[in-house]
Amino acid sequence: MKITRRTLLAAPAVLAMGPALAQAPKITLVVPFPPGGSTDALARLLQTNLQNKLGRVVIVENKAGAAGALGAAQVAKSPADGTSFLVTFDSHAVIPTILDKPPVDVERELMPVFLVGTAPYVIAANAGRPYKTFADVVAACKQSPGAVKYASVGIGTLGHLAMTVLGKKAGVEIQHVPYRGGGPAMNDVLGGHVDLIAGSAALVAAQLGTGMLRPILQLGRERLPNLPDTQTAIEAGFPDFETLAWWGIFAPAGTPADITSAMAKSVKEILSEPAIAAQLKETQQMTLLLEDAAPFKTFFDKQVAYWGQVVRENNIRA
């Protein structure tokens, strides 16, 4: 059954029609990471609301592996009929360069549908360490090269790449300790096994009330409202430097425009609801952009170009 704009935007009353609902093809939202992360949370929020809105069965499938490339490949190889979408985030832009043989061409086999929003990365220190600014970290690295260690949520993630760029610009070596996810990385920083963490604003903000973590640098262009006393990288002497987490939706290349436009419209309506928008801002520190395919493609192409160059220049491999 081919999905048209009419079927994708079917009235919620269809929910009351058991047989009709059972016959309608389900929509799968593929998350290319394990359950529990920010992308998984976004997909499950959309799942419930899309199902109610469209009168269609919507499921979330976690397909983790290869820096998000396995889930991306699954969607790329799915029928281009509106039954499969990828809900992913910033590391998607690094797949072309971080993997020796990526299983998917993210620029040709997938098409941008909707850009949800962005949030800055934040560098924070164990509160027992003496670092109050990034300049303190640079000074410590110059005094004892390699002695300062930072955690990231994995090789080739934007936290890792941002620290690579900052260290290079400052002329110092900051030792990278990669982890498989934000939970393990944060646990070791809080436990004092690692000095710093480069993570999303949401990951850092969740620990600010504990008194065990001190934010020292944020990588957005403007200070976050909940971090009014923490410098941006630009203020700290790194002109025009920013690193943003972002969340977006992709479809298999060749999916008809009326289908992708209808999905984008539905998602925008859901995320524009005040309670849902407030939830994302509070839990993910997210700035909602809610942009459709054209501006999303421009944004994504810039991310691929910039971070791809960082990966190549520093010979980084997952």
Residue 218: what residue type? Q
Q: Coil, strand, or helix at residue 213?
A: strand
Q: Residue 69: which H helix or E strand, with range?
A: helix 69-76
Spatial neighbors of 263 by CB under 8 A, at least 6 apart, are 8, 82, 85, 113, 114, 249, 251
Chain Cα centroid distance, residue 8: 26
Please say which residue of 218, 238, 263 terminates a domain: 218
Query: Do the domain assignments include residue 235?
Result: no
Question: Does residue 240 lie in a domain region?
Answer: no
- Per-residue confidence in pLDDT tens, the chain, 318 aa: 445 554 454 444 344 444 545 567 899 999 998 888 889 999 999 999 999 999 999 999 999 888 899 999 999 999 999 999 999 999 999 999 999 999 999 999 999 999 999 999 999 999 999 999 999 999 999 999 989 999 998 888 999 999 999 999 999 999 999 988 888 899 999 999 999 999 999 889 889 888 999 999 999 999 999 899 999 999 999 999 999 999 999 999 999 999 999 999 999 999 999 999 999 999 889 999 999 999 999 999 999 999 999 999 999 987
Distance CA 38, CA 193 (A): 25
- 103 and 206 belong to one structural domain: no
Same domain? For 99 and 43 the reply is yes
Distance between CA 139 and CA 170 in Å, rounded? Answer: 10
Shared domain for 106 and 123, answered yes or no, is no
User: Both 173 and 84 in a single domain?
Assistant: no
Question: Does residue 87 sit in the same domain as residue 32?
Answer: yes
Q: What is the Cα–Cα distance from 215 to 297, expressed in whole angstroms?
A: 32
Residues 92 and 110 in one domain: yes
- Tokens (6 digits) for 273: 């609801």
DSSP reduced 3-state for 217: strand
Provide the number of structural domains found in the chain: 2
Instruction: Please give the residue range of the domain that contains residue 253.
Output: 5-118+246-314
Q: Which two tokens stand for residue 214?
A: 């001190």
- The pTM of this model reads 0.87
- From the number of C-beta atoms within 10 Å of its C-beta (0-12, 13-18, 19+), residue 96 rates as middle
Within this chain, do residues 84 and 138 fall inside the same structural domain, yes or no?
no
Residue 41 counted as domain residue: yes
- How would you classify the pairing of strands 110-126 and 175-178? unpaired
Residues 159 and 188 in one domain: yes
Query: What is the Cα–Cα distance from 94 to 68, expressed in whole angstroms?
Result: 10
Q: CB count, 10 Å around CB of 313?
A: 11
State both tokens at 313.
């220049």
Please give the helix or strand (H or E) that residue 279 lies within, else none: helix 274-284
- What CATH number corresponds to the domain at position 34? 3.40.190.150
